[in-house]
Amino acid sequence: MFSIDPVHIQFHIPARDPLGREEVLGKIRFLPAHVEFNWRLKGNVFVGGKGEMHTLTVPYGEIEHVELIRKWWRLRRLVLRISNPALVEEIPGVELGKMTLEIDERSREEAKKLASLIDFKRSVFLLDEHDQRLAAISDEGA
């Protein structure tokens, strides 16, 4: 198998309340084995300084859907649907495993590589899972 360079995308999730208390800043890294989310709450007047950094790891098999949303010919948002919402429930602004990430301007070029990378990684995961099931069935039959 050939090696794939990891894709790193800076993002933010806008606050849901008018006072901006739960705005999330972060970086999503598409590594060879899994997807890693590094995020923290943005500091504001009510909370004080910046929040502490959190890290989440999500396997490629848990990503159901990836969508890049364009507006005026530029990538603006990345929508990820995670099959197990419990994996990402601690991130504010995520609803039932659906993550709508606003792509930072400095990461838009990098985000163009994303759709094909996710499709490839997901197909590799599904193929491996299929091979494991076939091997289990052949072991039962023998």
Residue 62 belongs to domain with CATH number: 2.30.29.30
Alpha-carbon distances of 124 from 7, 61, 80, rounded to whole Å: 17, 9, 18
Quick check: pTM over 0.75? Answer: no
Could you list the residue range(s) of the whole structural domain that residue 13 is in?
Answer: 7-141
Domain count, the chain: 1
- Residue 2 in domain: no
Q: Which two tokens stand for residue 39?
A: 């995020």
Kindly give the confidence (pLDDT) of every residue in the chain, 142 residues in length, as a single tens digit, with 9 standing for 90 and above.
344 677 888 998 888 877 777 888 999 998 888 889 999 988 766 656 677 889 999 988 888 888 888 888 777 888 889 999 898 888 888 888 898 989 888 887 887 777 677 777 777 878 888 888 888 888 887 6
- Residue 1 in domain: no
Whether the CB-CB separation of 63 and 115 falls below 8 Å is answered with no
Mention every residue, 6+ apart, whose C-beta is less than 8 A from residue 113.
Answer: 7
- Residue 83 in domain: yes
- Residue 12 in domain: yes
